[in-house]
Amino acid sequence: MRIDGVTEELLAGPTVGTLLSYGTRLLCDAGIEAAAREAAWILESALGRSALTLRLNACDLVHERDRARAVELLTRRATREPLQYVLGTQEFCGRLFRVMSNVLIPRPETELLIDEVVRRVPTDQSGIMIDIGTGSGCLAITLAGRFENARIVAIDMSRGALDVARCNAAEHELSDRVDWVQGDVLSALRQERLMGKVCVIVANPPYIPQGELDRLQPEVAHYEPRLALNGGPDGLGVHRRIIAEAKDYLVSGGVLALEVGMGQAQAVQSELERVGYIPGGIRADEAGIGRIVTALRGAKQE
């Protein structure tokens, strides 16, 4: 018999072991592939003990408060809420970032954006760098950590996202290096006298074509912010705006690095060339998908 999704066995006297097998079954029934591994991670977080300690102490009784917390987190994951929202964190470029439902979960392929900038820009660069659509702040904060003399401006339309990003910057003790701006692409910066002064602009813009949003896996389609995913009819609406607006802000030779979705790299590169940027190449991710398109602002642009 089940009471509120919890078996009587668990209510009677749950141990680490019974909780782990309950969690594994629950996640497995929800269609989650790595059910055992994810159940262990969730218990680690809910019980505040390492996976190894849990495994070595499978017979330990679990305190009622911890049991309730573990069941709550496991149940959230069983609705296909992303593991990162359930645990509240995601690692990016060696730092841990807080994530919740108002920010996109940082992806490993986005680390390539940082890599492309690091390859092109000296680490003692002292200019201004902009991150458009900062979300959790993962790009802005990583740039602040890598380029100690640079000033970072991070923009997002969502106030909730900026709150999360600010909190992440504080946790990494980089708050004084990043300015947070609420706005749409670069429009909010017009009064800031940054035209022609920016050395790097990065963005991981929304790039899922509107019609494909509902076909994404449930974790993404039902839980991640639409604002962070929806790239309009062909997925490249925000890229075009960034390409058009960024050229007024970049110094000559300044770097623009954009993440793109599968099959979009060539179109973005062509748009950059059409507008007068110097192409800087397409970087493929581990799956061989053209993922980061880089360009330099030419000297003689209109």
Q: Nearest distance from residue 113's CB to ligand GLN, in Å?
A: 8
Structure tokens at 32: 């989650």
Q: Does 206 sit near ligand GLN (CB under 6 A)?
A: yes
Q: Nearest distance from residue 226's CB to ligand GLN, in Å?
A: 10
Interhelix angle 111-120/138-146, nearest 10 degrees: 30
> Which residue lies nearer to ligand GLN by CB, 4 or 214?
214
Q: Does 14 sit near ligand GLN (CB under 6 A)?
A: no
Residues 198, 186: contact at Cβ < 8 Å? no
Structure tokens at 235: 């997925």
Beta-strand (E) ranges in 158-208?
A: 178-182, 198-203
Interacting residues with ligand GLN between 102 and 121 (CB under 6 A) = 104, 106, 110
Q: Nearest distance from residue 242's CB to ligand GLN, in Å?
A: 11
Beta-ladder partners of 180: 154
> Which residue lies nearer to ligand GLN by CB, 205 or 254?
205
Q: Nearest distance from residue 136's CB to ligand GLN, in Å?
A: 6
Please give the backbone phi and psi of residue 36, each rounded to the nearest 5 degrees, phi first: -65, -45
Q: Nearest distance from residue 258's CB to ligand GLN, in Å?
A: 11
Q: Does 135 sit near ligand GLN (CB under 6 A)?
A: yes
Q: Give how far the C-alpha of residue 208 lies from the chain's centroid of Cα atoms, to the nearest Å.
A: 15
How many residues touch ligand GLN under the rule CB under 6 A: the total is 13
| Gap between the Cα atoms of 202 and 220, Å rounded | 23
Q: Does 235 sit near ligand GLN (CB under 6 A)?
A: no
Q: Nearest distance from residue 119's CB to ligand GLN, in Å?
A: 18
> Which residue lies nearer to ligand GLN by CB, 135 or 254?
135
Which amino acid is located at 248 in the chain?
D
Straight-line distance from the first to the last Cα atom of the chain, in angstroms, rounded to the nearest whole number: 72
Environment class of 255 (CB within 10 Å of its CB; exposed 0-12, middle 13-18, buried 19+): buried
Q: Nearest distance from residue 171's CB to ligand GLN, in Å?
A: 16
Count CA atoms within 13 Å of residue 223 on its CB side: 19
Three-state DSSP at 226 gives helix
Given the rule CB under 6 A, which of 23-31, 63-71, 129-137, 269-277 is the region that contacts ligand GLN? 129-137
> Which residue lies nearer to ligand GLN by CB, 66 or 219?
219
Structure tokens at 54: 């849990």
Q: Does 142 sit near ligand GLN (CB under 6 A)?
A: no
Taking CB under 6 A as the rule, which mask of x and - marks residues 27-56 in contact with ligand GLN? ------------------------------
Binding residues vs ligand GLN (CB under 6 A): 104, 106, 110, 133-136, 138-139, 204-206, 228
